Structure 1
Amino acid sequence: MTLKLKLDKAGKSRVDLLARVKLSHDKLKDLRERKASLEARALEALSKNVNPSLINEVAEEIARLENLITAEEQVLSNLEVSRDGVEKSSYSDSAAYRSV
């Protein structure tokens, strides 16, 4: 594979990873906002002596969101490691290409 093809492939990989990192950040932001909203509603419900079964349902949804947040944080971490590796590789290949 020529250096130009390697650079093109690395560029496409980098763009894909950047997009996936952005999507993961956005997903985490949404999940955290939903969790915060549910927590606020749960606290309000507790202060109003709402039916305990409804509060339990909200607590279960909060726990589900916490699990999703943890999983998405791991996905994001892996994507960022991959992105950093691609960027480092792209920089090295680009520097080598310029020196030719």
Structure 2
Amino acid sequence: MSNETNEIFDATISYNRLLWIMDDESSDKLIAIIQAHLCLVKEHLCNDTLPDRKEAIRADIERLRAERSAILLSFNEAEVENQHGELRNSCRTRR
């Protein structure tokens, strides 16, 4: 895992919590991203892959990482908003 990935996971909600709150569409997108990433890595590691293609693969992998990060961060933002709403509601009930 890259340092950027670690930072995203550190900044987001826990993976277990993410599994509970993620909708099917986002979950399916993450699975598709993982599968595409693995196929690209496999192709990149192949000895007969040309240098130009390897460069294109690295660019594709970076694009996939950005897509994955956007999905994870969107759920982090939704969770933070939800927690703030719960805090506001709990403050109102205490008054």
Distance 1:59 1:31 in 2: 20
List, as ranges, runs of 4+ consecutive aligned residues in structure 1 with deviation greater than 6 Å. none
The RMSD of aligned alpha carbons is 3.0
Aligned-partner SS, 1:49: coil
Q: Gaps spanning 5+ residues in structure 1: where? A: 1-20
Q: TM-score, normalised by structure 2?
A: 0.51
Asked if the contact 2:40/2:61 (under 8 Å) is kept, the reply is no
Distance of aligned partners of 1:63 and 1:72 in 2 relative to their CA distance in 1, 3 Å threshold:
same
**Who is 2:32 aligned against?**
34
Aligned pairs (5 A) from 1:19-98? 22-23=22-23, 26-27=25-26, 29-45=27-43, 46-94=45-93
Q: Which has the larger radius of gyration?
A: 1
* TM-score when normalising by structure 1: 0.49
Q: How big is the shift at 1:82?
A: 0.9
Partners in 2 of 1:30 and 1:58 — Cα distance? 22
- State the one-letter code of the partner of 1:39: H
Q: Using CA pairs below 8 Å that are at least 6 residues apart, which structure has the higher relative contact order? A: 1
1:17-37 CA distance string (max 9 Å, x none)? xxxx644x852x344423322
Measure the CA separation in 2 of the matches of 1:59 and 1:85. Answer: 39
Q: Where does structure 2 lack aligned partners over 5 or more consecutive residues?
A: 1-20
Identical amino acids, percent of aligned pairs: 14
Query: Does the aligned pair in 1 maintain the 2:30–2:68 contact within 8 Å?
Result: yes
